Amino acid sequence: MKGFLLAATFSVTSLISYGQDFLQHSAAADHWVDSVFQKLSFKKKVGQLMVIRESNTQNGKPIFYEKELKKYIHQYGIGSICPFQGGAVEQALILNELQQKSKIPLMVCIDGEMGLGMRVTAVDKFPDQLTMGAMDNPALVYTIGEAMAEQCKRLGIQVDYAPVIDINNNPNNPVIGYRSFGQDKWRVAQYGVQIMKGLQSKGVMATAKHFPGHGDVAVDSHLDLPVINKSLAELDTMELIPFKEIFKAGVGSVMIAHLSIPAIDSTPNLATSLSAKNVNGLLRQTLGFKGISFTDALEMKGVAKFFPQGKAGVQSLIAGNDMLCLPGDVKGTIKELKKAIKEGRFTEAELDERVKKVLLAKYNLGLSQKPMVDTANLLADLNKEVPTLRAAVALNAMTLLRLTNDDILNPSIGKVAYVALGTSSNTTIGNAFNNDFKADQYNVSYKSDANTIKNVLSSLKAKKYDKIYIGVHDFSKRPANNFGIPDAIAQLANDIDKNFNAATVVFGNPYAAKFFLNAKNLVVAYEDDSIFQKAAFNALTQQADFKGHLPVTVSEDFPFNYGVKKNDNSVVYPASVGMNADKLLIIDSIVNGAIADHAFPGCEVLIARKGRIAFYKNYGYLTYDSTQHVATKDLYDIASCTKISATTVSIMRLVEEGKVSLEKTIGDYLPVYLGSDKANMTIRNVLLHQAGFLPDTFFDRDYLDKNGNPLPGYFSSVKNDSFSVTVTDKMFFRKDLLPKIDSAIRADKLGPKDKYVYSDNDFIILGEIVQKVSGLPLDQYAAQNFYKPLGMSTTTFLPLEHGFQKNEIAPTEFEKTFRQQQLWGTVHDPRAALMGGVAGHAGLFTDAMDLSKLYLMLLNGGTWQGQKYFQKSTIDQWTSYNSNISHRGLGFDKPYKDNATEKNPYPSRYASPQAFGHTGYTGTCVWADPKEELLLVFLSNRVYPDGGSNLKLSRLKVRENILDAAYQAILH
C-alpha cells in the first residue's frame, strides 16, 4: 500500500502522530517491552494481537468461556479478552483468575458505550449517546467519560470501545441509531472528544468507532456487508470530520468498521476492516493516526460471509490493523499468518512491530503488573455515579417540540389523567401525577385488542378530563416495525389528543415522535426509566426547564436542533420552593416607597430558593425623568459586587487548580512588586482586606486639577494608538500611563497590618494576578470559565463594546468634573475607568436574572445543570468566616458574627452564619444563604444622577428590608 495517498482528494493537512500517550517510550517501558518480547514464540506473538470473547449469552443466561480461555492463554499466549455478559463479582473473579493464569498481563477490553451497564448485569447504564446529543452541555459529557473510566478501572478493564463517533445521518440505520450523538458532524465530534478525554484522563484507553463512519447505512454489518456509495469528497466533509477531530485530540485507539466503500477500495466484498487502502492508506498515511487499530468483531457476517475466520484475521493484519477483535479461529489465524509470511504477503518484521506496539500500550496502561479486582462493595462502587449523572442528563436533554397551550403545564387546575401506552403496569410518572394532582391512571399495553383500546377512549370521554398526559413507553430503540409501536396504539394517542387538552411524551428514540406529529403538545424524553420519567414530570409541571433540542431531524417541522425553551429561567410558584407568595408582596411596598422617595429611579429584584426563581420583578424607570420602564435584561453597573462576581470566583478557580496558593504572596505572582513593602502580603490576607492597604489609592488625582477636572495632555476625546484606554465612550486615557497605576499602589503608604481595612486595592491586585497566572485579562477569564458556560449572556465588562445599547443599560452619575458627562454604559468607579473599564474591584455590568445563575451554581455546591465549576469543599471554605478580626470570608462579605444581638444587623437579622455576598456602591447587592437555599439579587442605580450624595437607599434600609421579607416568606 505504499504511495496510497488521498491528499489530492481530501483537504487534509499533514498531521502529527496521535494517540501517543499510550505509546510513549521511556527507558522503563522499552526495557519491559523488550524483556517480554524476547520470550515470545511465533504463535504467542500472534496471540498478543488477539482480543478473545470471554462471555456470551445462551438461552438468556450468561455463559463464560473460562476453560477455553485458559487453554488459549497457555497455548497461544493471547493478549486480550473482552467480557460481554455476567455479573460484576463473577466477572471480577474470572478476570482475576485469567490474569493469574497469563504470564503476560491481559489487556481487558469492553464494549461499554454506555458504561459497564451495557455488558455487566445489575450495573445501571449511563444514558445513550443520542440522549446526550440532545444536551448543550459538553462538560457533562466529559464527566460521564470520567465516570465510565472509573467503572472500567474498578473492574480491571483497560480499554473501552467508546465513543461511537458515527454520524447518524440515516434514520433507518439498524445498528447505530441511538448509539450515535446524532446527525450533526460537529456535535458528534465535540461530544465524542469529551467522552474520549474523560476516559483517558483516568488512564483508560478510548476507542473511536467505527472508522471511517458507519452512520449512513441501512444494513446491519452483524448480518451482511453494508455498502456506502459516497465519494471521497463527501466522506471527507461528513463522516471523517469526527475522526479527524478525535485524532487531533489524542484518542488512543480506533475500531475499523466492516463496510464496503467503493470510493476507498472497489475490491468486491472486501470490508474496510480488511482493506489496506482504508487502514494503511486513509487512516495511517492520509490522516496520520499512529495509535492502536482494532478491527470490529471478525465473527460478524460483514466479514465472515466472504472470508473464513482465519483468513479474515490475516487480511486484517495485512491491511494495517494492530489487534484482531474476536477472530474466532485462533489456531487457524496463526496457521494462515505463517503461510502469508512464507508467501511474502506479510513479514515477520511487521508482526514484531505490531507486537511491540501492543506491548508498549500495555505498559502505559499499567499492565507491567497484573491488576487484581477487589470484590468488596464492587457492585455499589460500579453504580455509585450513574443515577446522579443520568438525572443530570435527563434534566438537560428534556425536549419540548410543541406547546399549544401553556395551561397544560399547570396540572393543578382541573381533572387530570395519565395514560401510559406500552405497559400494563403503573409508571413512575403516572404515580407522580396521581400523588401530586390526583390523576387517574390508565395503562394500555401494546398487546391490547381493539375492544380494549376503544373502551379506554370511551372511559376518558365519559369522565370528561380537563387535561390528559400521554406517555409512550417501552418501545424498541431500533426503527424496524415502527419501533414496535402498533398502529392502533399510535392512533389511540392521536384520538386522545384530538378530543382533549393533552400532552404526549415520547419516552425513547426521538425518531418515534414522527408517529405523533399532530400532538398539540409534544415532548421527547429519550429514555424510559424512573429517572427520565421524573425529569419529564418536573418539566411538565414547571419544576424544571425544557433545556434539550433534537439531535436528529424528526420531520420538516421538527428539524435537527429544534427545541422550545419554554421554562428557561421561568419564575415558579413560591409555594413550590417553600415560600409564601403573600409575604413576598411586601417587597412591592418597600421598593415603590423607596422609588417615591427618590432613593433610586428603578431596580430589579430577584429571589430564588432551592435552585428556582420564586420572585422576579422590575420596578420604576431607568431615570427619574424618562418613560422607559426597567425591563428584563436591562444592565446595571454592579460596582463592588464585581469583587465576588468576577475576581473572587476567578481566584477560587485558580486556587482549586493549584495555580495560585492562598499562602503565597503578591511578590510570588507579580514580580513588579518585589522590593516593595507590598511584596510579602499573602493572597489570603489580600482576600480578607487585612494585608495592610489603606482604603484607596487615589491614583486618578494625579491626572486631575485641584477641582477634579482633567489636566491637559492625559486625555483625548478621540481614541487612537496613544490614547487607547477607554474611560468613557467620549474620553480616552494615555496607554503609556497604565503602568503608573501599579506604581502608585506600590508607592502608597501602608496602614497597620493584621487589621481589617476594606480597600479596593486588594482586588485591583487580585485582578492583575488572575491575568498574570491565567494569561487572560480578568474579563476574558471570567467569561470563559463562568459566564459563557453558565449561559450568562448579559454579564460583561465594557457593555458598549459588546453590542449593548445605552437604552438597555441603567445610567449612573452625571459627573460634573473628571469625566464631565452622563455616565451611561461605562463604569462608574473612577479608578476602574482609568484602567479601561476592566478591574478587579469594579466594572462588571449584568442583570438580576443573569447574575443569579452564578450564585445558584455556588448554592448548588459548585454544580449547575450538570456541569462542575467548583468542589463543594472549596465553596464551603471560601464562604465561611476566615478571620478572627473581621466578619469576612475569602473575598466574600458575610453577616456580622454577633448578628443576632446587633442593633443594626447586617445584612439581615435572619441571615445564617453560612450566608455570603456583597454590596455595591451604585446601589446593588447579592446575598446567598446555603442554610435556607436562598438567594437575593438587588440591582439599582441609586447614584443617578448626583453620585454618592444620595444616601436614601441606606437610610431606608431597602436592601436589608427586602432580604428580611425573603427570609420571613420561607415556609418552615
Does the structure show a pLDDT above 60 at 10? no
Average pLDDT, the chain: 92
pLDDT value of position 12 = 34
pLDDT level of residue 5 (50, 70, 90 thresholds):
very low
Helix (H, G, I), strand (E, B) or coil at 383: helix
pLDDT level of residue 923 (50, 70, 90 thresholds):
very high
pLDDT value of position 16 = 35
Is the CB of residue 715 less than 8 Å from the CB of residue 732?
yes
pLDDT value of position 221 = 66
Average pLDDT over residues 501-526: 96
pLDDT value of position 868 = 80
Does the structure show a pLDDT above 80 at 59? no
DSSP state of 627: -
> pLDDT digits over 358-367, tens only?
999 999 999 9
pLDDT level of residue 791 (50, 70, 90 thresholds):
confident
Does the structure show a pLDDT above 80 at 837? yes
Domains and CATH numbers, the chain: 20-382 (3.20.20.300), 398-540 (3.40.50.1700), 589-968 (3.40.710.10)
Does the structure show a pLDDT above 70 at 79? yes
| AA identity, residue 352 | D
pLDDT value of position 865 = 56
pLDDT value of position 11 = 33
pLDDT value of position 776 = 97
Residue corresponding to grid cell 416495525: 481
pLDDT level of residue 954 (50, 70, 90 thresholds):
very high
Helix (H, G, I), strand (E, B) or coil at 392: helix
Cis bond upstream, residue 695 (ω within 30): no
Is the CB of residue 442 less than 8 Å from the CB of residue 465?
no
Q: Please tell me the number of Cα atoms within 13 Å of 689 on its side-chain side.
A: 19
pLDDT value of position 278 = 97
Q: What pairs with residue 797 in β-bridges?
A: 844
Closest by CA position to 500, among listed 528, 531, 462: 462
Helix (H, G, I), strand (E, B) or coil at 611: coil
**Following DSSP, what letter does each residue of 763-794 receive, concatenated?**
HHHHHHHHHHHHSS-HHHHHIIIIITTTT-TT
pLDDT value of position 271 = 94
Does the structure show a pLDDT above 50 at 685? yes
Average pLDDT over residues 940-960: 95
Average pLDDT over residues 891-913: 93
pLDDT level of residue 874 (50, 70, 90 thresholds):
very high
What is the dihedral angle through the alpha carbons of 181, 184, 188, 191, rounded to the nearest 10 degrees?
A: -80
Rounded Cα gap, residues 494 and 492, in angstroms: 5
> pLDDT digits over 705-722, tens only?
888 899 999 999 999 999
pLDDT value of position 19 = 41
Does the structure show a pLDDT above 70 at 7? no
- Integer-rounded Cα radius of gyration of the chain: 33
DSSP state of 810: -
* Selected residue with higher pLDDT from 849 and 971: 849
pLDDT value of position 740 = 84
Average pLDDT over residues 681-685: 97
> pLDDT digits over 320-344, tens only?
999 999 998 999 999 999 999 999 9
Does the structure show a pLDDT above 70 at 917? yes
Rounded Cα gap, residues 683 and 676, in angstroms: 16
Query: Residue 966: in which H helix or E strand, if any?
Result: helix 958-968
Does the structure show a pLDDT above 70 at 535? yes
> pLDDT digits over 200-251, tens only?
999 999 999 999 998 777 776 677 788 999 999 999 999 999 999 999 999 9
Cis bond upstream, residue 74 (ω within 30): no
Does the structure show a pLDDT above 90 at 180? yes
pLDDT value of position 341 = 97
> pLDDT digits over 598-635, tens only?
999 999 999 998 887 899 999 999 999 878 999 988 99
Rounded Cα gap, residues 961 and 909, in angstroms: 10
446 burial level (CB within 10 Å; 0-12, 13-18, 19+): middle
Residue corresponding to grid cell 425536549: 399
DSSP state of 707: T
**Following DSSP, what letter does each residue of 217-228 receive, concatenated?**
-SS-TTTS--B-
Average pLDDT over residues 811-835: 94
pLDDT value of position 696 = 78
* Selected residue with higher pLDDT from 749 and 381: 381
Rounded Cα gap, residues 769 and 748, in angstroms: 19
